[in-house]
Structure formats: C-alpha cells, structure tokens
Amino acid sequence: MPYNIGAMTEVMRQLEAGRRVALTRGGQKLNALARAARDLKDGRRTSHPELVLWGELQDYAEHDPAGRDLQPFVELVDTHGPEAIIAAVDALTDETKAEVTVSTAHTAKGREWTQVRIADDFPPPPDSDRQDDSGRPIPEPVSDTDARLAYVAVTRARRRLDLGGLAWIEKQQPAVDGA
C-alpha cells in the first residue's frame, strides 16, 4: 500500500500534542482513502479501487496474506475513525510554518533537518536459531534493503539524532562471514 501509516500515526500524535505539523508530500492519497473508508463504513459505495465493503476489507486484511499490507490502514481507521484521519490531513501545515515535519525514510532522501527522531516502525530483525555464549538468541542479519533505508533515515539529522525505533541497532552483532 503506497500510504505510510506509521507517518500518519505520528502526524496524529504530534497534532494531539498541539504542534503545527507538515507531512512531506502531503496527505492527499491518505485523505482520499480515509474518505472512501468513511463511505464504506456508512454503507455507501466508493469509487476507490482498493475498497469494496468495509467488513470484507477488514477480513481480507486480517486473514488473507495478500491483504496484509492493508492491515495497518484498517487498524488506523478502526482505532481513530476516518473522520479523525481526514481532520488530521486537513490540519497539516506548510513545512515553512511547521514545528514538526513528519517524513518517511523514502521521502526524506536528499533532505536534512536540525533534529531527527526515528519512528518506531523500524522493527529489529527476527532471532535466528543460533545463540551467543550466554544462550541468548542471535538476531538475523539486517537485510541490505533495511540497512540502506536505515542509513537514509539516520543521515538526515544535522545536529541531533534520536534513534528511537532503531535503538535496537546498538545491540546488533556485526555480521560475520560464513556465519
């Protein structure tokens, strides 16, 4: 799904804290999706190609592996309601007037900010079958794709970096050839 629900969740958190918030590339696509979800929840048809009936979408997202990418959106709508998402998108401000700019790592490429906090949507790799000398499981290596994305995220800060959701990286064992 081309909508970053983690970024929208952070937007809503920052707005609830009373801050002026910008979202890189805006929230128009998510706004359209939230409006379509509202229509479905109200029993109306929608023209959005990814949504048919809200209950069917919930089941599809929860039970069908092909629909798993919709699960975060369904949870966001079920938790906050489509009106709150629409209101949050409508409350977004221009970056030049914002106290906080929320960005995905992908949309942050080539940009910098004085302070950067990494959101909690960078999960650590799963544990492997191997154990360290203390018997604790050793995590799988970080994939090249995830490593590159994390690199983009952490190199956006000019002065202050809060690792936040990447704090687990400090405990990550370096990869060993042949392991």
Q: Are strands 157-162 and 113-117 parallel, antiparallel or unpaired?
A: parallel
Q: What count of other Cβ atoms lies within 10 Å of the Cβ of residue 27? A: 25
Average confidence (pLDDT) over 75-83: 93
Instruction: Say whether 158 sits in a helix, a strand or coil.
Output: strand
Whole-number Å distance between alpha carbons of 167 and 172 = 10
Q: How confident is the model at residue 122 (pLDDT cuts 50, 70, 90)?
A: confident
Residue recorded with tokens 């801050």: 19
CB burial of 91-128 (b: ≥16 within 10 Å; e: otherwise) equals ebbeeeebebbbbbbeebeeeebeebbbbebbebeeee
Query: Is pLDDT of 178 > 60?
Result: no
- Whose CA is closest to 93, among 27, 145, 2, 158? 27
Whole-number Å distance between alpha carbons of 130 and 32 = 46
Whole-number Å distance between alpha carbons of 152 and 149 = 5
Q: How confident is the model at residue 99 (pLDDT cuts 50, 70, 90)?
A: very high
- Whose CA is closest to 105, among 116, 94, 91? 116
For the segment 141-157, what is each residue's pLDDT rounded down to a tens digit? 889 999 999 999 999 99
Residue recorded with tokens 């023209």: 47
Query: Is pLDDT of 171 > 90?
Result: no
Whole-number Å distance between alpha carbons of 8 and 26 = 10
Q: How confident is the model at residue 81 (pLDDT cuts 50, 70, 90)?
A: very high
Can you give the pTM of this predicted structure? 0.78
For the segment 36-77, what is each residue's pLDDT rounded down to a tens digit? 889 888 888 777 666 677 888 888 888 988 888 888 889 999
Query: Is pLDDT of 26 > 80?
Result: yes
